[in-house]
Amino acid sequence: MAPLLIRQARAGDAPGIARIGLQNGRYHARIGPELYRVPDEEGLAEFIAADEEWRSLPTSLALVADADGEIAGYLEASLQEPVESARWQGQRDLSKTRLFINYVGTADEFKRQGVATELVQVAEEWARANGAEVAVCDTWIDSPLSVPFWEERMGYARRAIIFRKPL
């Protein structure tokens, strides 16, 4: 694998990010079809490129792992400030600045090569430099890739369960 350059995402990266989203969508739709589907390919890159306003916010982070010009991975995260009502809340984390990682994806040909690890480490460094005290993410509990990644590789601990019931 070519050396990785972790950098801010740019609008021109949208086709590579869309490719990762489609690959991840196919994977999840295959192993959890009752919960996941493949995103529509038509217009996906344009949708991603149009998100420049969000990417420009000082509390937003959009990173790509660039392997010699090829987008090998993508991460989206944001800083969440302490909530105004934190003193009346039972959850300690609500009184802290938090890094919320809402998406990490790796292109199929780069999986299991440390791409996501590097992306998350850079996001955590950015968050610490911006005053975050804790990092939070969620993932599908039945994922054979992401649960071990977060728990074993990255050192995150389970703290909640989201329940779902079709109506």
pLDDT in tens, 76-91: 999 999 999 999 999 9
Q: How many CA atoms lie within 13 A of 126 on its CB side?
A: 23
- CATH, range 4-153: 3.40.630.30
One-letter amino acid of 89? Q
Find, among 40, 39, 14, 9, the residue nearest to 27 by Cα: 39
Tens-place pLDDT, residues 117-164: 999 999 999 999 999 999 999 999 999 999 999 999 999 999 988 898
- Residues 71/44, Cβ–Cβ less than 8 Å: no
pTM of the entire structure? 0.94
What DSSP letter does each residue of 66-101 carry, written as one string? EETTEEEEEEEEEEEPPPTTGGG-S-GGGGS-EEEE
Q: Where are the domains of the chain?
A: 4-153
Cα–Cα distance list, 35 to 62, 111, 138 (Å): 25, 22, 15
Provide the pLDDT for residue 26: 97
